Amino acid sequence: MLRKRLEPRILATIIATASAAWVFIAVAEDVVEGETGAIDTAILSAFRNPADPAQPFGPPWLHELGRDVTALGSPGILAFVVVATAVFLLLAGRRRDSLFLTAATVGGGLLTAVLKDAFARPRPEFALPGVHVFTTSFPSGHALGSAAIYFTLAALITRIVPQPKLKTYVMGVAVFLTVLIGLSRIYLGLHWSSDVLAGWAAGAAWALACWLTAHVMETRSNRL
């Protein structure tokens, strides 16, 4: 009975993983072929101040809010969240979950580095003054990292909470936060829209693939 109940969820996860990977590949091909230039420029321009394209639209407090939101997807903040959560899981006796989170995070970081190095796309020239970047543009590391880690954290939490409403809420928060972080990268002029879309897709595909792998390994272990 349990196997029959889980099979649709596994199938849905496989389809979702393949779909996210396909989106990344499609966007990457368009970027390499130069087909995203017009829409990237149009979307980025929509976030700029018409009187001063070097600045995003809105008052200074909105600029600061954009910085605050984007920091939630920074490597330092994500690393802190992961380490704190991994240690908590270890102390709570959930060693397997802690290892899963750590492996998913390390793998996601390596994936980001490999993809950025492979595409080596220049960043936009409209970065908000005072915001420093040290890597190439495609895909957005903040978008990929936040999708990979916050989706993984949400998946772990949904395994613990029993109520469907709470599961939906947790996943909703993870999606909302990831989307907000990605949009902040465009707002601050740090990424093209295609960078962010590709980051979301790659991060989601990675998180789903990690969950699927962990589930298969756990199922096989329980059968032994």
Which residues are known to be catalytic?
Answer: 142, 191
Q: How far apart are CA 73 and CA 146, in angstroms?
A: 5
N- to C-terminal Cα separation, the chain? 19
Question: Any idea of the CA torsion for 200, 134, 56, 203, to the nearest 10 degrees?
Answer: 10
Q: How far apart are CA 36 and CA 50, in angstroms?
A: 22
- Which stretches within 127-192 are classed as H helix? 141-160, 164-187
* CA 192-53-43 angle, 5° bins: 35
Q: Which two tokens stand for residue 160?
A: 């613990």
